[in-house]
Amino acid sequence: MPPKRKATAPAEPDCPHTITRVRNKKALPTNAEQDECPICLVEWFGKDADGKTVRPIVMHCEARHVICKDCFNTHRASHIACPFRCPELPLNITGCEKCGEWSTAHIAAQQPAMPDKRVISLRKDMAAELADELTELKDDSGFFKMSVALKRELVRYWRTVLEDHDAQYHRWHDLALMLDPLRGSDVDQAAALEKYATLAKPMRNPRARGYLPKNPDIAKSFPSGKEPWITTMLRTMCKRWSDQFSVLVRHDLHGEISERAYRNLELFMDDDEVWNDDWPVKQIVEHYVRPDGGWEYKVHWLGFDNPWWHQWTQREEMKRSEVWKNYHREKGLAIPEDK
Domains defined for the chain, CATH in brackets: 19-96 (3.30.40), 117-249 (no CATH), 280-339 (2.40.50.40)
Of the candidates 93, 97, 15, the residue with the CA atom closest to the CA atom of residue 59: 15
Tens of pLDDT along 117-150?
788 888 889 999 999 999 999 888 888 888 999 9
Using CA atoms, how far apart are residues 277 and 178, in angstroms rounded to an integer?
Answer: 15
pLDDT for the residue 145: 87
What angle do the packed helices 229-245 and 126-140 form, to 10 degrees?
130
Using CA atoms, how far apart are residues 225 and 86, in angstroms rounded to an integer?
Answer: 43
Q: Is the pLDDT of residue 314 over 50?
A: yes
pTM: 0.62
Of the candidates 236, 159, 133, 144, the residue with the CA atom closest to the CA atom of residue 196: 144
pLDDT for the residue 3: 43
Rounded to 5 degrees, what angle do the CA atoms 124, 130, 134 make?
155
Instruction: Report helix, strand or coil for 253.
Output: coil
Q: How confident is the model at residue 250 (pLDDT cuts 50, 70, 90)?
A: low
Q: Amino acid letter at 89?
A: L
Q: How confident is the model at residue 255 (pLDDT cuts 50, 70, 90)?
A: low
Q: What is the DSSP string of 69-90?
A: HHHHHHHHTT--S-TT-PPPPP
Instruction: Name the E strands within the chain.
Output: 19-21, 56-59, 66-68, 117-121, 169-170, 247-249, 281-289, 295-301, 311-314
% pLDDT > 90, the chain: 30
Q: 223 to each of 226, 322, 326, how far by Cα in Å?
A: 8, 20, 16
Using CA atoms, how far apart are residues 54 and 40, in angstroms rounded to an integer?
Answer: 10
pLDDT for the residue 293: 85
Of the candidates 129, 130, 192, 127, the residue with the CA atom closest to the CA atom of residue 166: 127
Q: How confident is the model at residue 243 (pLDDT cuts 50, 70, 90)?
A: very high
